[in-house]
Amino acid sequence: MNLFVHDLSLYIHVPFCFDKCDYCDFFSIPHHGRPDNRLLDREFHLIESMGSRWLRLLQCRNLETIYIGGGTPSSIGLDRLERLLSIIAGLIKKEGIAFEGEYTIEANPRDISPDLITLLESYKVNRLSLGLQSLNDQDLRAIGRSGSRAQSLNALSVLSSRWKGRFSLDIIAGIPGQKSESIDEIVETAVESGADHLSIYQLTIEEGTPLARKIAQGLRRAPQDEDYLRLFKHAVETAEKAGFKRYEVSAFARKGCESRHNLRYWYLRPYLGLGSGAVSTLPLADGGALRFCTGKGRYMKEILSPKQRFTEALMTGFRLVAGVAESMISGTGIPDHPFRLIGKTITDYQNRGLLFMRNGRMGLTHQGLDLLDRFLLDCLVELDTTWPENRS
């Protein structure tokens, strides 16, 4: 297998949360205070052994970004988090890797404290992604998420006075009963506290979650697409007015504060995922990719064909407001000028004013982004005729 890795990002998955939100279908284990020692040891061992093996195999000399996600990495306790940070630092040192880039950790407002900040700074973590979701207690209860407005305001005040790095807030739009004033308040508070990035997500109801069951039993209201669209549109306007520029379908940043780690996903750059449930994607010389994942004791592996990889490039690249360039994806198995393969769809959307071409890049206009799913479907239908599977 001819791996084609010049640059690499690291994703570390910590599959523990204080408790489980009603809408969540991620792999995370609720620990209600402190995770079980045995489980944590097993996770840390997996991260260390897998990291050591793969970083050596890939002859990695430079990491572009590191992202610790989950789950809720901040919830495992300061002593254990320090162990994890020191495992990551040890891997980097042992393999002789240079790293000066963006280093992000996800955190819950409940866990933000001066001691956490001191710990993160001592390991050169320079970006926090705070799972705020809402500043309204009623909204939080409607989606079965613990925590409170008071906790979040306290966390933001600690960050504002003590944290020297960058930080982002996660927000959910479309919660039944949510008011546009709720969004206004979050954006205002983000400005006051110095947040430089916002991620605004739609509340989606995943099958098998407690929230889906409660909705089926009539105990909770189901979110409505129209409410989401109205609130999201309002959020886009409010965030942009406050100086957060939309650079991806659901991401907004102050100038220069885009998430470099996430941009690398959207640009299909290689990343190594460590820990249970973490996915890795490493490009192959033919334009395809190797994807694997360790999860709950299983090891899954698949080879993506150049056509599958090109499809992913469309699905992630067209999420970006700046659009996508053909040079983003190349390899011996990828045809020259691959966008010709979706030429009919491109012309159609361009004629309707929904797609632009500028400086070698192609992207959807703001109006076009509202129709992203439809556009991608049209691309895939066309691609099935212009690039039949047996050519991939």
Nearer residue to ligand SF4 within complex by CB, 75 or 189? 75
Q: Which residues are paired to 98 by β-bridges?
A: 62
Minimum gap (Å) between residue 211 Cβ and ligand SF4: 11
CA atoms within 13 A on the CB side of 147: 30
Burial of 107 (0-12, 13-18, 19+ CB in 10 A): buried
Nearer residue to ligand SF4 within complex by CB, 20 or 261? 20
Minimum gap (Å) between residue 161 Cβ and ligand SF4: 25
The closest alpha carbon to 362, from 387, 377, 343, 378, belongs to 343
As a whole number of angstroms, the distance between CA 21 and CA 23 comes to 6
Minimum gap (Å) between residue 307 Cβ and ligand SF4: 33
Nearer residue to ligand SF4 within complex by CB, 8 or 21? 21
CB within 8 Å of 392: residues ≥ 6 apart? 305, 306, 307, 308, 333
| Cα-based distances in Å from 384 to 227, 293, 308, 378, 388 | 34, 28, 11, 10, 5
What does the DSSP 8-state code read for residue 365? Answer: -
Minimum gap (Å) between residue 68 Cβ and ligand SF4: 13
**Chain position carrying tokens 């099958």:** 207
Nearer residue to ligand SF4 within complex by CB, 210 or 335? 210
Q: Is 155 in the site for ligand SF4 (CB under 6 A)?
A: no
Nearer residue to ligand SF4 within complex by CB, 20 or 80? 20
Nearer residue to ligand SF4 within complex by CB, 259 or 392? 259
Contacts to ligand SF4 from residues 54-73, by CB under 6 A: 70-72
Minimum gap (Å) between residue 178 Cβ and ligand SF4: 17
Nearer residue to ligand SF4 within complex by CB, 131 or 165? 131
Burial of 154 (0-12, 13-18, 19+ CB in 10 A): middle
**Chain position carrying tokens 């750059």:** 269
Nearer residue to ligand SF4 within complex by CB, 126 or 129? 129
Q: Is 320 in the site for ligand SF4 (CB under 6 A)?
A: no
Contacts to ligand SF4 from residues 84-143, by CB under 6 A: 131
Annotate 75-101 with DSSP letters as a single string.
GG-HHHHHHHHHHHHHHHHHTT-B--S
| Cα-based distances in Å from 149 to 137, 140, 185, 376 | 6, 9, 11, 38
CB within 8 Å of 185: residues ≥ 6 apart? 135, 136
Minimum gap (Å) between residue 75 Cβ and ligand SF4: 8
Site string for ligand SF4, 18-47 (x = CB under 6 A): --xx--x-x-x-------------------
3-class DSSP state for residue 207? Answer: coil
Minimum gap (Å) between residue 201 Cβ and ligand SF4: 10
Interface residue with ligand SF4 among 17, 60, 257, 355 (CB under 6 A) is 17
Q: Is 264 in the site for ligand SF4 (CB under 6 A)?
A: no
Q: Is 13 in the site for ligand SF4 (CB under 6 A)?
A: no
Which residues are near ligand SF4 by CB under 6 A?
17, 20-21, 24, 26, 28, 70-72, 131
